[in-house]
Structure 1
């Protein structure tokens, strides 16, 4: 089943959700700010996305700027930072089987549904 990691306060995430709703396909919504992701879940998502952990970080978030920017962080450190501070996770993320995309732009979601 399709899964969207969603933040209702984010316009891009809401646009991604609308694309899934219009597709007519079944999907699950994960509000990752309410149900935080574990380091293991984040590691699995990053593998599906075929990216480095730093590519999933919202680098303009104040949490990142204040606590992590400019530091020499390992991939494990970055994943731990996202698990502890879910606002740092880029959104929306859509997973369909073994395919995944970050919905920026939201239209990229159509590639995997």
Structure 2
């Protein structure tokens, strides 16, 4: 099963979900803005992600620009900020249980298939 951390209001997230549906795979949709995030969840994603914690941040978000830009934060602090303000999480996040990618552009999702 492939898990997608999805924001239905985001065009890129909707494109990622549609792409997964076109591949006829079992999908679990996590609407993280409704369901929330935990430190354990984010740390688990990060251990399977071939990137840094900073790569998970949406730096174009107003909250980031107003509160976090140019600040020196530890990994734990970044994860805490994402939990506090989940819109900061890049989207869509696609997790096959072994690896995690940011599904933008959507063809990156093929790395998990």
Does the TM-score normalized on the shorter chain lie above 0.5?
yes
> Any idea what SS the aligned residue of 1:81 has?
helix
What does residue 80 of structure 1 align with? 80
In 2, the alpha carbon distance for the partners of 1:16 and 1:80 equals 26
> Any idea what SS the aligned residue of 2:21 has?
helix
C-alpha root-mean-square deviation of aligned residues, in Å?
0.9
Measured against aligned partners, the alpha-carbon deviations of 1:59-107 in whole angstroms (never above 9, x if no partner) come to 1101011111111111111010001100000000111120111001111
The answer to whether structure 1 residue 44 and structure 2 residue 40 are counterparts is no
TM-score, normalising length: structure 2: 0.95
In 2, the alpha carbon distance for the partners of 1:35 and 1:13 equals 16
Contact 2:2–2:97 (Cα < 8 Å) also in 1: yes
**Count of equivalent residues:** 113
Structure 2 matches for 1:66-77, cutoff 5 A?
A: 66-77=66-77
In 2, the alpha carbon distance for the partners of 1:8 and 1:101 equals 18
> What 5-or-longer segments of structure 1 have no aligned partner?
none
Measured against aligned partners, the alpha-carbon deviations of 1:23-78 in whole angstroms (never above 9, x if no partner) come to 11111000011011101111111111122111100011010111111111111110
TM-score, normalising length: structure 1: 0.95
Structure 2 matches for 1:1-113, cutoff 5 A?
A: 1-113=1-113
Contact 1:13–1:106 (Cα < 8 Å) also in 2: no
> What 5-or-longer segments of structure 2 have no aligned partner?
none
